[in-house]
Amino acid sequence: MITPQGSLGTWNWKTIVGNMFPLLIVLTVIVLFAGVRLEEAEEMLTEFVILAVMVPTMVDMGGNLGAILSSRLSSRFHLGTTTLDPRDRVLWANVLAVLALAATIFTALAVGAFLLGQLLGSTLGLGTLLVISLTSGMLLAVIAIIFSFATTYASYRYGIDPDDTTIPVVTNVVDVFGMVIFLSVSALVLGV
Amino acid sequence: METRDVFWRIYRQSLPVLFVALLGGLFAGLVLEGLIESVERFPGLLVMVPVFLATRGNVYGALGGRIASGLHQGLISPRLERDDRLVNAVIASFVNGIGISIVIGVVTWLALFLLGWERALLVEFVLIMLIAGVLTSVVLIFGLLLLIFAGFKRGYDPDNLVGPIVTTLGDIFGMLFLLFSVSLVGVVL
């Protein structure tokens, strides 16, 4: 690509990589904690196989919900339409929609895991899976919402393009929380 | 009631994609359950799994967010073309995605070393990450662009599509390529 740096502005690949790569390394170190936690929980996952099947969804859904919210927030910033005013009803509609989506999806996760569990010979009942899934899921949704607002606002204040920071930070922090919360809630409910 | 309209619009637009993401996640979970068996061959492998899966959110989620904002602002058009902005965004994602995969292999090995836990060889971790990283980036970058463009042309707000598309593709292909890479390195080394 022989293009003058200036004409592309924040779309120049060297600018994007220069802005993002240091952040990516920091995020890698953060998420490593989730990995260490997963490695530690290997025994519980071998005993209750259905928990391993739930792990990716449990970890991702928080990130998904956070990404839906922060992507909307950062587009609003780009278009210049947002101030973080607690009386802004549209913002509340965003938050409530995310919570409603979480309740729906984590109920579905428990049902899906229960059905797959029947095939894998899992002994955990639907009630137990619902408690694990909804408790960890709703906690996770709240954390995702808080981090979406905090990071979008912070990157806007410090003049960093929210697209380069918000979504990564939200997904990673929520990934770690998702893993830790899910494994802890499971251990608590199952008495392991 | 503007508020109620906004609520239902987000809920209705997001729910179908989230359900697809749920199916992708459950599929990835089944693959993860299979991967746990490979831990004996490569001790410490599980530490890399969340970090590797998180990369897709970091690199390709950022690409998706950038494309979504670009579409909203009319800076790019919803086509795979040799547009300077699009090409630069794609190159950046390849560099970031493949570069960070190598870093993950090194950092994981270092963490296990510092913890004094049993671990596979450094070169094994790096090779597993490199192979899985290259394959995943190709599928994710082009898959993401095609799906966002198709959704945008049908009138979907790209903001609601990015997250779930990235995690679904990332889960399915990330885990499959990781399993493939683990088997390949297990055979070759």
Structural domains of chain A sorted by starting position, each given as residue range(s) with its CATH number in brackets: 9-190 (1.10.357.20)
pLDDT surpasses 70 at B14: yes
pLDDT at A2: 45
Distance CA B183, CA B164 (A): 28
Give the closest of A36, A53, A75 to B72, CB-based. A75
| Chain B CB contacts of A38 below 8 Å | 46-47, 49-50
| Tokens coding B171 | 């889960």
pLDDT tens string A71-126: 778 777 777 665 667 677 878 888 999 999 999 999 999 999 999 999 888 889 99
pLDDT tens string B128-151: 999 999 999 999 999 999 999 999
The confidence band for B40, taking pLDDT boundaries of 50, 70 and 90, is confident
| Chain A CB contacts of B100 below 8 Å | 21, 24-25, 28
Residue A98 vs residue B188, higher pLDDT: A98
pLDDT tens string B71-95: 988 999 998 888 999 999 999 999 9
Name the class of domain B2-188. mainly alpha
Q: Considering only residues 34 to 53 of chain A, which have any Cβ-Cβ distance to chain B shorter than 8 Å?
A: 34-36, 38-39, 42, 45-46, 49, 52-53
Contacts of A3 (CB under 8 A, 6+ apart): A12, B84, B88
Q: Considering only residues 122 to 151 of chain A, which have any Cβ-Cβ distance to chain B shorter than 8 Å?
A: none
Q: What is the ipTM for the molecules in this complex?
A: 0.86
User: Is residue B118 less than 8 Å (CB to CB) from chain A?
Assistant: no
pLDDT at A4: 46
DSSP annotation string for A128-145: HHHHHHHHHHHHHHHHHH
Contacts of B25 (CB under 8 A, 6+ apart): A56, A57, A58, A60, A61, A109, B167, B168, B171
Please answer yes or no on whether B85 and A55 come within 8 Å at the CB atom: no
Distance CA A82, CA A70 (A): 12
Averages of pLDDT over each 10 residues, chain A, 192 residues: 59 90 90 92 89 89 82 73 68 91 96 92 92 96 90 79 68 86 95 83
Give the closest of A17, A66, A78 to B73, CB-based. A78
- Choose the mutation target among B5, B7, B59 for the interface with A, i.e. most A CBs under 10 Å: B7
Please answer yes or no on whether B25 and A56 come within 8 Å at the CB atom: yes
User: Is residue B134 less than 8 Å (CB to CB) from chain A?
Assistant: no
pLDDT at B29: 92
pLDDT at A163: 62
C-alpha A113: how far from chain center: 20
The confidence band for B57, taking pLDDT boundaries of 50, 70 and 90, is confident
pLDDT at B189: 77
In the 3-class helix/strand/coil scheme, how is chain B assigned residue by residue?
CHHHHHHHHHHHHHHHHHHHHHHHHHHHHHHHHHHHHHHCCCCCHHHHHHHHHHHHHHHHHHHHHHHHHHHHHCCCCCCCCCCHHHHHHHHHHHHHHHHHHHHHHHHHHHHHHHHCCCCCCHHHHHHHHHHHHHHHHHHHHHHHHHHHHHHHHCCCCHHHHHHHHHHHHHHHHHHHHHHHHHHHHHHHC
**Domain ranges within chain B, ordered by starting residue:** 2-188
The dihedral over CA atoms of A50, A56, A62, A64, expressed in degrees to the nearest 10, equals -130
